[in-house]
Every structure is written in C-alpha cells, then in structure tokens.
C-alpha cells in the first residue's frame, strides 16, 4: 500500500482506505500530528463526571474545553417547586464532601430572607460543624491530589482521619454523609456531650496525624516536582476568573468571606488566613493543609466560648416546633401543619447570602414572592467557577499534569453541575 505523505492528505486517504476495507494504513510522522483526546466523563482522575476535550501536540496540551452537565439534576428548578425546609436535604447533594457546610449556607440564606435569628448556641454548633467539614473536605482533597500524582498511602491515611469526623456526625445527627442537620432557626438537636467530647479528642490528636501524612509527601521529590510550578495562575487572573476559597488564596490574594463579610460569630474568633503567593498546584496544596490547622484553632476557641441554651429560635410561625410538643400541644400541631404544608412564607424581597465553604464561596440568591417556596433560587457554586480556569491552567502542560491540576483545583461535580 502506498504511504501517505502530507498532513492534508490524511483524512481523505484514510477514508478511502477504510472504504476499501484496508486495515494496513501507515502515516508518516505520526507524532507530529495534533490529536483530539476525550478525557472523561468516566475517568477516575477527573473527580466525578467532568469531561475534557483536549487538543494534543504529542503529549503537550494545546487547548482544552471542559464540558459540564453530566450530573445536572436541575436543583434550581426543584427549589422553585418546594418549600424552604424541603430543600435542606438537597443541599447535601451539592458538594457531597461537605454536606453540613452546605446545610449551614442554605439556612443562613433563608434566615436572612425571613428575618429569623438562630440562638447563639445553635450558631456556635454551626461553626463547629462548618470547620469540621472544612477539615474533612480538605483531607479528601489532599489525599486525592496525592493519589492523582502517585502517592496512594496518603489517601488512605487522610481518609482514616476523615472517618473519625464522620463518626462524630454519626453521633451528632445519626448520619455519616448527607446529614441534613441544620434547621431554619437553629439545628435539629443539641450537640450531645459525647459528640463534643469526641470533637475535643479529635482536635487533640489531629495535628500529629496530619504531620505524619505531611512527612510522606512534603519532602517527597516526586510529589513536589509534579506540583511545583505546574498550573500557575497570577493573582489578577485568579480574581478575573472568579476564583474563591483556597484556590484564590493559593495565588496570594488574602480573601476569606469569614473575614471579609463576617457571619455567625467569626468576627469574635482569632484565626489566620493562610496565603501562598506562587499560584501553582503546590501552593494550593499548602493552603489546604494550613487551613485545616486554622480550623483546629477555630474549633478550640469555639469550644471555650460556646454558651448553653436553646438550639432553636422561638418563632412559632416560621420555625418548626419540637416533635414531642407536636404530639401534646394544639398550637404546635397547627404550626407544624401550616409550616409543612404551606411553608414559611418570607416577605417579598431578595437576598444574596454567601459563606466560605471548603471549596470557595457558596452563595444562594433567593427571591421570595411571599409564598412558601422561593420564586427563584440561584446556587453560586464555587466548583463550577473554579473549573473555568482549567483551559488556562493546562495549556502548554503535559497530559499527566492535567490530573495534578484538576486535583489541586479540587472540584466536586455535584456542585459544579447542580
């Protein structure tokens, strides 16, 4: 069979050869041709159902187009058709690695819209679970990043630590993930002494175990060289592209919603915002590691400050009554019936409420029409916005670096696709 000479000839010749049912096709300079590669959506290194279309020159990425939507469940549409209480379990499924932080974000948004204030003890419990969730989520991010670049042991060790946090959730609310623990106006139940004792035990032993994990990789030449100087994004670009959370702080911008627009009692807490200036994968990894240490510091202060008291607000028209009271008191039964069937009817208005989630800024934009369900609910998910930087970051890098870059951005597709 004749040899194909130039690039332009290739498609027609191959087509002809295929039409003739020839199987022996040879192309000169095969490595000099550009290749289109489809990565995902079912790919272990894309952390879910992310699909990337890559244009490759040899092994160098020339262009990358992310395709989202493989996990699109239409939560914004569903939110418009259910009451504010009913949507709490659905927030678990957004960023499924940090369900409790999503619960907190949702109830804070609804409370702001409806003008409810949760009692201090409930707010402190919410802060504990937000910070514990941040540790759990960052542990998965660190472990998965290490696994993506070839260090499997770290993943097992960080997941062992995360398991301890999940055990605390088990005591606290009876579920390990998809907790749905918060309620509008408070939390479902008071934190049990056993749960708080376990939190104390966890923060005492955590740093030692984290250091063990760090020893495995921080001085590991393979790990460091796979991440150092890879996927660099400057501070200006990071703000332009809409980065929030650890990814933005990895580029040297000291921006944290807990400090910038304090919510709950974060303004009373003393903590540092870890910032690294390099903007590469390694600095994003260091930010996450340091942030878990800061979270430990925050939890320690919360445990000292946490007051006793109620965990649900006293607002009968808006806040669900206790189960025991529903069965014994008439008023509570009526309120329960009204809230479950017709919703809490916040006044006409609109609010945007955002919290610092492990992945970045999780915001809810709610428009109320005065009815029991939101007229409009927009979920501002950090993972989706962070993924937008991917084409910029991977350009000019090797295929194997894509895996490291995705791992360092730490997207969760449940949130990116809503």
Give the list of residues 6+ apart from residue 134 with CB closer than 8 angstroms, or none: 98, 101, 291, 292, 295, 357, 358
The Cα–Cα gap between 275 and 246 comes to 8
The answer to whether residue 41 forms part of the interface with other proteins (CB under 8 A) is: no
Nearest alpha carbon to residue 116 among 186, 181, 190, 188: 186
> In the complex with other proteins, which residue's Cβ is closer, 56 or 367?
367
Alpha-carbon Rg for the chain in angstroms:
25
Q: Which is nearer to other proteins, 150 or 370 (CB)?
A: 370
Q: Which is nearer to other proteins, 50 or 188 (CB)?
A: 50
Among 294, 332, 356, 361, binds other proteins (CB under 8 A): 361
Asked if 385 interacts with other proteins (CB under 8 A), we say: yes
Single residue of 41, 120, 242, 321 touching other proteins by CB under 8 A: 242
Q: Is the CB of residue 340 less than 8 Å from the CB of residue 348?
A: no
Binding flag, residue 349, other proteins (CB under 8 A): yes
Residue among 337, 346, 376, 302 at smallest CA distance from 185? 346
**Full DSSP string of 337-378:** HHHHHH---PPSEEEEEEEEETTEEEEEEEEE-SSSS-SEEE
Residue of 238, 241, 269, 252 lying closest to 130 (CA atoms): 269
Question: Binding of other proteins at residue 380 (CB under 8 A)?
Answer: yes
Of 147, 210, 354, 409, the residue at the interface with other proteins (CB under 8 A) is 354
Cβ closest to other proteins, residue 161 vs residue 417: 417
Interactions with other proteins, residue window 111-130 (CB under 8 A)? 112-113, 115
Looking at residue 1, the DSSP 8-state letter turns out to be -
Interface residue with other proteins, options 152, 156, 350, 396 (CB under 8 A) = 350
- The residue among 113 and 282 lying less far from other proteins, judged by its C-beta, is 113
Binder of other proteins out of 60, 178, 388, 400 (CB under 8 A): 388
Which residues, numbered 281-300, are part of the site for other proteins (CB under 8 A)?
none
Using DSSP's 3-state secondary structure scheme, residue 7 falls into coil
| Using rule CB under 8 A, residue 352 touches other proteins | yes
Closer by beta carbon to other proteins, 335 or else 373? 373
Given the complex with other proteins, which of 198 and 373 has the nearer CB atom? 373
Q: How far apart are the first and last CA of the chain?
A: 53
Token couple for 16: 């002809």
Among 14, 45, 239, 326, the residue binding other proteins under the rule CB under 8 A is: 239
Question: Which residue intervals of 149-174 are DSSP H helices?
Answer: 152-173
In the bound state with other proteins, the residue whose beta carbon lies nearer, of 214 and 237, is 237
Alpha carbons within 13 A on the beta-carbon side of 255 = 17
| DSSP letter, residue 32 | G
Would you say 112 or 121 has its CB closer to other proteins? Answer: 112
Q: How far is the CB of 402 from other proteins (least distance, A)?
A: 19
**Residue 255 in the binding site for other proteins (CB under 8 A):** yes
**Contact yes or no for 409/389 (Cβ under 8 A):** yes
Q: How many CB atoms neighbour CB 135 within 10 A?
A: 26
**Contacts of other proteins in 49-88 (CB under 8 A):** 68-69, 72, 74, 76-78, 80-81
User: Looking at 367, 398, 399, 400, which residue binds other proteins (CB under 8 A)?
Assistant: 367
Binding site for other proteins (CB under 8 A): 68-69, 72, 74, 76-78, 80-81, 112-113, 115, 237, 239-242, 244, 253, 255, 260-261, 349-352, 354, 361, 363, 365, 367, 369, 375-376, 378, 380, 384-385, 388, 417-418
């Amino acid at each position: 069979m004749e040899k194909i000479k130039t690039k332009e000839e290739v498609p027609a010749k191959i087509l002809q050869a295929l039409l003739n049912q020839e199987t022996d096709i040879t192309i000169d300079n095969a490595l000099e041709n550009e290749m289109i590669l489809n990565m995902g959506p079912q790919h272990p290194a894309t952390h879910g159902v992310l699909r990337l279309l890559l244009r490759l020159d040899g092994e160098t990425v020339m262009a990358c187009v992310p395709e989202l939507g493989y996990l699109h469940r239409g939560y914004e549409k569903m939110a418009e058709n259910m009451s504010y209480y009913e949507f709490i379990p659905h927030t678990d499924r957004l960023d499924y690695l940090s369900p409790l932080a999503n619960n907190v974000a949702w109830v804070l948004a609804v409370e702001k819209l409806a003008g409810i204030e949760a009692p201090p003890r409930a707010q402190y419990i919410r802060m504990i679970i937000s910070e514990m969730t941040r540790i759990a989520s960052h542990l998965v991010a660190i472990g998965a990043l290490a696994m993506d670049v070839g260090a499997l042991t770290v993943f097992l060790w960080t997941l062992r630590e995360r398991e301890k946090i999940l055990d605390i959730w088990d005591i606290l609310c009876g579920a390990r993930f998809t907790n749905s623990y918060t309620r509008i106006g408070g939390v479902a139940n008071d934190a049990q002494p056993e749960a708080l004792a376990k939190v104390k035990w966890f923060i005492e032993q955590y740093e030692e175990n984290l250091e063990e994990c760090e020893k495995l990789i921080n001085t590991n030449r393979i790990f460091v060289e796979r991440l150092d100087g890879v996927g660099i994004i400057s501070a200006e670009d990071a703000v332009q592209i809409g980065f929030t959370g650890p990814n933005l702080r990895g580029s040297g911008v000291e921006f944290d919603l807990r400090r910038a627009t304090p919510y709950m009692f974060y303004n009373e807490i003393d903590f540092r915002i870890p910032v690294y200036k390099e903007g590469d994968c390694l600095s994003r990894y260091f930010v996450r590691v340091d942030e878990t240490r800061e979270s430990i510091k925050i939890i320690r202060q919360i445990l000292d400050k946490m007051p006793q008291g109620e965990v649900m607000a006293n607002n009968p028209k808006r806040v669900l009554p206790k189960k025991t009271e529903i069965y014994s008191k008439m008023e509570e039964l009526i309120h329960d019936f009204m809230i479950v069937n017709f919703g809490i009817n916040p006044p006409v208005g609109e609010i945007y409420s955002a919290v610092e989630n492990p992945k970045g800024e999780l915001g809810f934009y709610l428009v109320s029409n005065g009815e029991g369900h939101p007229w409009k609910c927009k979920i501002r998910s950090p993972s989706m916005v962070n993924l937008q930087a991917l084409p910029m970051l991977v350009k000019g890098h090797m295929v194997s670096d894509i895996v490291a870059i995705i791992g360092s951005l730490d997207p969760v597709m449940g949130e990116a696709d809503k």
